Amino acid sequence: MEPAIPAVTAANIPAELRPAKRHWALDDIPWDAVRRDLVAGHEALFYMLAAASLMESATDLYTANLIEYFADDDEIASWLRDFWLPEELQHGRGLRRYVETAWPDFPWAEVREAFVEEFRPFCDEALEEERGLEMASRCVVETGTASFYTCLSRASPDPVLALLTRRIAEDEIRHYKHFYRFFRKYREIECSGRAAVAPALWRRVRMTGGEDRLIVLKHVHAAYRPGAPLDSRSYRRVHRQCRALMRPHFPARMTARMLLKPLGLGPRTQRLTVPVLAAVTRCVVP
C-alpha cells in the first residue's frame, strides 16, 4: 500500500510560505516615473526585457502538462493553478508594460502572436518520471528566474525597473521555496536519493537557454531590426552585451546555494561546494 500523503494544514505551512497579506499589483509600480531617457538606448536591456516579457506571458502554454501531472494532489494543483500561474502571468504583464513604456515603437502584441505560433510545438516538454524529481527540476527553473531578476534589479539604471524586477525576483524565490517543499514531500514518499536527484538537476540546467531563448530572441530581433535576420554574428553581439551588463551583478552564491539545496549536502560539503559552483555559474552567465 502506498504511504499516505501528509495532510497540509495552516499550522504546518512554514511562515514564509503562507500567502502574503496582499500580493503586489501592477498599480503598485509608479509607471509615470519610468526613466525612458536612461534605458531607451540600452540594447541589452531591451532584448532581455522584451524576451522575458514574451516568455512569462506564455507560461500558461508550457505549464499545462505540469498542472495535469499533479492533478490528484490538491495542495500542489491548487497552488500551481491559483497562485503560481497567475503570478507568472503577472510578471509577463508587468514586463510588457515596462517594455511598451520604455520602447513604445516595439509592437509587443504582434510580436507575441508570431512568437507563440512558432513556440507552441516546443511547449509540451517531457516531465520527470518521478514527481519529486520534477519538483527538483522546477527548483532549477525558479533558481534561474530568481537569479535573472535579482541581477536585473541590481543592474537597472532606472529605479522603476529596479523595483519591478525586485518584486518579480521575490516572487520567484518564493516559488522556489514552494517547489522545494513539494520536492521534500515527494522525496519522502518516493525515497529518491541524491543519486537520482543530481542527474535531474543537471538535466534541467542543460535545458537552460536552449531552443526557447533562440526562438524568442529571433522574434524580438525581427521587430527591433526589421529586415535584418538574427544571424550568428548579431546573436553573439546581443549575447556579449547582455553578459557585460549582467556579470558584475550576478548573485552567484545565491544561485549556487539554491541549485545545491535539493541535494541535501552536509554543512561541511556545502561550505566547500558553494564557492566552486558560484565561480562556475559566474563564468556561464547569463
Q: Contact residues for Fe ion (CB under 5 A)?
A: 56, 88, 91, 142, 172, 175
The span from the CA of 286 to the CA of 251, in Å, is 11
Minimum CB separation from Fe ion for residue 191, in Å?
Answer: 28
Minimum CB separation from Fe ion for residue 257, in Å?
Answer: 17
Minimum CB separation from Fe ion for residue 143, in Å?
Answer: 10
Minimum CB separation from Fe ion for residue 88, in Å?
Answer: 4
Q: DSSP letters of 255-284?
A: HHHHHHGGG---HHHHHHHHHHHHHHHHHH
Choice between 35 and 97, CB closer to Fe ion = 97
For residue 250, what are the CA distances in angstroms to 137, 172, 246?
21, 16, 6
Pick from 93, 85, 84, 83: nearest CA to 49? 93
Choice between 136 and 222, CB closer to Fe ion = 136
The span from the CA of 227 to the CA of 107, in Å, is 15
Choice between 88 and 130, CB closer to Fe ion = 88
Choice between 32 and 210, CB closer to Fe ion = 210
Across the chain, the runs of DSSP E, i.e. the strands, are none
Choice between 79 and 108, CB closer to Fe ion = 79
Minimum CB separation from Fe ion for residue 278, in Å?
Answer: 22
**Cis-peptide into 286, omega within 30 deg:** yes
CB atoms under 10 Å from CB of 76, counted, come to 25
